[in-house]
Amino acid sequence: MLSRLSFSSLIFSTVLISSTLQAAAPNIILIMSDDMGFSDIGCYGGEIQTPNLNRLAEGGVRLSQFYNTGRCCPTRASLLTGLYPHQAGIGHMMEDRGQDGYRGDLNNSSRTIAEVLKPAGYRTYAVGKWHVTKHAVPEGPKHNWPLHRGFDRFYGTITGAGSFYDPGTLTRDDAMISPFADPQYKPKQYYYTDAISDHAIRFIDEHVRDQKEKPFFLYMAYTAAHWPMHALEEDVAKYRGKYDAGYESVRQARLLRMKQMGLIAKDAEISPTKGDWTQVKDKAWEARCMEVFAAMIDRMDQGIGRVVSTLEKNGLTQNTLILFLQDNGGCQEPIGRQARPPAFNEQSFPVIAQDAIRVDVIPKQTRDGKAVKQGVGIIPGGPNDYIAYGEAWANVSNTPHREYKHFVHEGGISTPLIAHWPAGIPASRHGKIEAQPGHLVDIMATCSDVAGAKYPAEVEGRPVQPMEGVSLLPLLQGAGLASRSIFWEHEGNRAHRAGPWKLVAKEDQPWELYNIDQDRAEQHDLAGSEPDRVRSMAAAWDAWAARAKVLPLGTWKKPAGNKPAKAARKKN
């Protein structure tokens, strides 16, 4: 039994340790996955095995109404800068459309989280997908590559997609490399998801060895589970047969789990199911697409687990804030699913040297000269295929929401947000689900808040655009946030969220109005019965669009230079 003195000493020591942890600036790890839906991971209702993310959720807080921007690079621009994407110069994709909101490059009136945290004493690291610059060739400008936007180290890809076995634009620090001629990293089999996890672990270990007196910021941007559907067979094996019952069965099982978890209301509706499983001609192939998609997420979760174990090994778990989220909803893009003539997949090509630098997003061939195969019935998973999982499975990923990536209905912009920080989130909040809305613009505000960093008003005499978001720390700790409006625009799709109300429209279509508290699946349009609310919210959207560099609306599809207009819809 402890004496009264020793017990008092223990209490004092515990309080002292807790106070020290609270006083010390936390490490921050920001993890983003790619092209996943709201319900894919286990702690948001999915059947995919994500035990490591589930444990982070159990020891932290989940937000049930957190939002991205509905597309990959606008989301990354918003996440990194705390601005709406147009304000950062990336209102659409990586092309200059002749307007400041659509330059396809981070502008110099924005600051990245890394640029804001460095003056506060942070070391900064990035691994994975960058995708916020139009300059993605070895000999081109690098002013918007990671090391020129505040990061001390980088390993990843500059562009937005590519093979998981031989990714194009692979870069270490400031130089493009080949994964097969890299003296610093020689795995038995190169797989990009593993390479991202491995380099995150390397950067943490090196930080502890060389810079342990400083806190660190680590940005981990996985490409899982973006097309192509590439996964290791050992992971695919876990999911064989799991999707043989088809789309509706999986959606209903997810819906039930989400209701049981409290992520959605007990009486929540579900949007209509896309695809009729009874009419699918090649069910084995269609199921295989989802099996590979699940395996990609599984492998990412394994890597996140290894990163968390590295924190534990180095005694960093308590005072590290980990945030996990996704860049957009499930992706309906039909890449590689169209019918192809047999000759298309049987071409042969010259061998590509092992040390050659690749920049292709959709490669025509593997390095050994084999054609990269696409088309209905091509089995996904290996290095010489390039297939997406399709609209019907994307609809499953987005359960119970409506629409997909590209759109700003709930299926396009709803993402999990898991926050885990033992020293900063009270134990009474662990495992809680928070329903207040949040947005990507809040991540900059949150990181600068917990880091004690000052967001600058200007840099080198140039004015810096003020942050748009608010710190989520009060929300994570159990307090509320002030009511506010959140806005979206992408490809003419637009929305305004204020309290429970959401005004939303597709390009060139009239406004729709939903009460999200009562109708998250957006099935009951109230615009006709609430004309005054529609007018008021639409006027607020117009004012936001004017100040946030969204206008002129439609700029996203105007041709850049002499390119034909159809090039504007290039998928990435």
Concerning whether 72 is annotated as a catalytic residue, the answer is: yes
Burial profile 20-34: b = 16 or more Cβ within 10 angstroms, e = fewer: eeeeebbbbbbbbbb
- Cβ partners under 8 Å of residue 14, min gap 6: none
Q: Where are the alpha helices (DSSP H) in 317-472?
A: 391-397, 410-413, 441-451
**Pairwise CA distance, residues 332 & 40, whole Å:** 15
**Pairwise CA distance, residues 38 & 45, whole Å:** 9
Q: Where are the alpha helices (DSSP H) in 381-428?
A: 391-397, 410-413
Q: Which of 86, 92, 131, 490 is catalytic?
A: 131
Q: Where are the alpha helices (DSSP H) in 212-360?
A: 233-236, 247-261, 283-313
Strand-pair category, 123-129 with 216-221: parallel
Whether the CA torsion 241, 245, 251, 253 is positive or negative: it is: negative
Concerning whether 289 is annotated as a catalytic residue, the answer is: no
**Pairwise CA distance, residues 548 & 283, whole Å:** 46
Q: Helix or strand or coil: residue 269?
A: coil
Q: Which of 72, 73, 289, 331 is catalytic?
A: 72
Q: Where are the alpha helices (DSSP H) in 365-507?
A: 391-397, 410-413, 441-451, 473-476
Strand residues in 373-467 grouped as ranges (E): 414-420, 432-434, 438-439, 458-459, 462-463
Torsion of CA 241, 246, 248, 252, to 10 degrees: 0
Q: Helix or strand or coil: residue 531?
A: helix
**Pairwise CA distance, residues 102 & 175, whole Å:** 27
With tokens 């994975």, the residue in question is 128
CA 339 centroid distance within chain: 30
Q: Do residues 491 and 70 make contact, with C-beta atoms less than 8 angstroms apart?
A: no
Closest C-alpha among 547, 553, 550 to residue 509: 553
Secondary-structure breakdown of the chain: helix, strand, coil percentages, each rounded to the nearest 5: 35, 15, 50
Segment holding 536, helix H or strand E:
helix 531-547
For residue 67 the two structure tokens come to 């939002």
Q: What single letter denotes the amino acid at residue 143?
A: H
Q: Helix or strand or coil: residue 8?
A: helix
Backbone phi, psi, residue 288, to 5°: -60, -35
Burial profile 515-535: b = 16 or more Cβ within 10 angstroms, e = fewer: ebeebbbbeeeebeebeeebe
**Pairwise CA distance, residues 508 & 243, whole Å:** 37
Report, as residue numbers or ranges, the catalytic residues. 72, 131
